């Protein structure tokens, strides 16, 4: 009897604990924002930028040397006091915003995904295409990955589909990897290579615009499309 009661208490407490964690997580995740700081003792481009701005507005009269020293510290405090910000002599996101500069992530400009340039097929397109390939054809043979990327590019060139890579990939309901979020996984090296091969003009399907997995496809319509080739679990069709 005693053990049963104790078990009950433990279960109830556990439930309580889990519920609390869930609520806390819920509220926290909405507020989470990373803050980058520029403060006393730092060197770099950002300090340069801050000094330039402050000098321009007359808060700072020291040298623009990219070193955050006492003079810069005082100037930042003056700027903060004038602009009704928290006076702490440290440049955080709010102070930076008031100065009209962005702190970004780091001055070295890391990050794996380069931005897409409109029109031309830059590295951003390779990355987006690789993400789609990774989400859709992980575990398929290499040739199947190139083929999936080629299908996306064939759709871009087809009047029945949107006319950009992003438009095709994010067309509602077009790809399961987009619907279930698998597209957001980081693509592996093989997917990137496959995407690049397809962008360079290799198309193992010679013009297919559909593919499906016969074990999963339930639409009668898709079965009526002429199949061009079969790679791994995917049937490629026009």
**How far is residue 222's CA from residue 238's CA, in Å, rounded to a whole number?**
10
List b or e across 15-24, with b for residues whose CB sees 16 or more CB atoms inside 10 angstroms: eeeeeeeeee
From its phi and psi, is residue 214 left (phi > 0), alpha (psi between -120 and 50) or beta?
alpha
CB 118 → another protein: shortest distance, Å?
11
- Greatest CA span in the chain, whole angstroms? 80
Cβ atoms 169, 152 nearer than 8 A: yes
Is residue 231 involved in binding another protein (CB under 8 A)? yes
Pick the stretch among 48-56, 95-103, 128-136, 156-164 that binds another protein (CB under 8 A).
Answer: 156-164
Binding mask 168-197 for another protein (x = CB under 8 A): ---xxxx----x---------x---x--xx
DSSP 218: -
CB 28 → another protein: shortest distance, Å?
13
CB 179 → another protein: shortest distance, Å?
7
Among positions 91-150, residues that touch another protein (CB under 8 A) are 119-120, 141-143, 146
Cβ atoms 62, 48 nearer than 8 A: no
CB 32 → another protein: shortest distance, Å?
16
Comparing CB distances to another protein, the nearer of 70 and 230 is: 230
Cβ partners under 8 Å of residue 62, min gap 6: 51, 69, 71, 72, 75
Pick the stretch among 45-53, 90-98, 131-139, 167-175 that binds another protein (CB under 8 A).
Answer: 167-175
Is residue 19 involved in binding another protein (CB under 8 A)? yes
**How far is residue 198's CA from residue 107's CA, in Å, rounded to a whole number?**
33
Comparing CB distances to another protein, the nearer of 74 and 203 is: 203
How many chain residues touch another protein (CB under 8 A)?
A: 54
Which residue among 129, 140, 204, 235 contacts another protein (CB under 8 A)? 204
Cβ atoms 119, 78 nearer than 8 A: no
Cβ atoms 209, 161 nearer than 8 A: yes
CB 33 → another protein: shortest distance, Å?
19
Could you give the angle at the alpha carbon of 213 between the alpha carbons of 209 and 219, nearest 5°? Answer: 80
Is residue 22 involved in binding another protein (CB under 8 A)? yes
Comparing CB distances to another protein, the nearer of 55 and 121 is: 121
- Interacting residue ranges for another protein, rule: CB under 8 A: 5, 8-9, 12-13, 15-16, 19-20, 22-23, 26, 119-120, 141-143, 146, 157, 159-164, 167, 171-174, 179, 189, 193, 196-197, 200-207, 218-221, 226-231, 238
């Amino acid at each position: 009897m005693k053990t049963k009661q104790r078990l009950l208490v433990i279960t109830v407490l556990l439930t309580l604990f889990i519920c609390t964690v869930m609520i806390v997580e819920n509220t926290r995740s909405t507020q989470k924002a990373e803050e980058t700081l520029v403060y006393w003792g730092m060197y770099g481009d950002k300090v340069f930028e801050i000094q330039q701005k402050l000098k321009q507005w007359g808060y700072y009269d020291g040298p623009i040397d990219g070193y955050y020293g006492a003079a810069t510290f005082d100037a930042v405090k003056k700027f903060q006091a004038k602009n009704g910000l928290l006076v702490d002599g440290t440049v955080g996101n709010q102070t930076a915003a008031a100065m009209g500069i962005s702190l970004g992530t780091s001055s070295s400009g890391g990050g794996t995904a380069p931005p897409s340039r409109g029109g031309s097929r830059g590295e951003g397109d390779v990355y987006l295409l690789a993400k789609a390939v990774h989400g859709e054809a992980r575990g398929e043979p290499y040739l199947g990955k190139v083929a999936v990327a080629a299908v996306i590019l064939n759709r871009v060139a087809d009047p029945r589909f949107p006319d950009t890579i992003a438009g095709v990939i994010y067309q509602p309901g077009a790809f399961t990897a987009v619907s279930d979020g698998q597209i957001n996984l980081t693509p592996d090296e093989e997917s990137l290579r496959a995407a690049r091969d397809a962008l360079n003009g290799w198309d193992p399907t010679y013009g297919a615009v559909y593919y499906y997995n016969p074990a999963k496809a339930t639409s009668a319509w898709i079965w009526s499309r002429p199949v061009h080739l079969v790679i791994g679990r995917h049937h490629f069709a026009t």
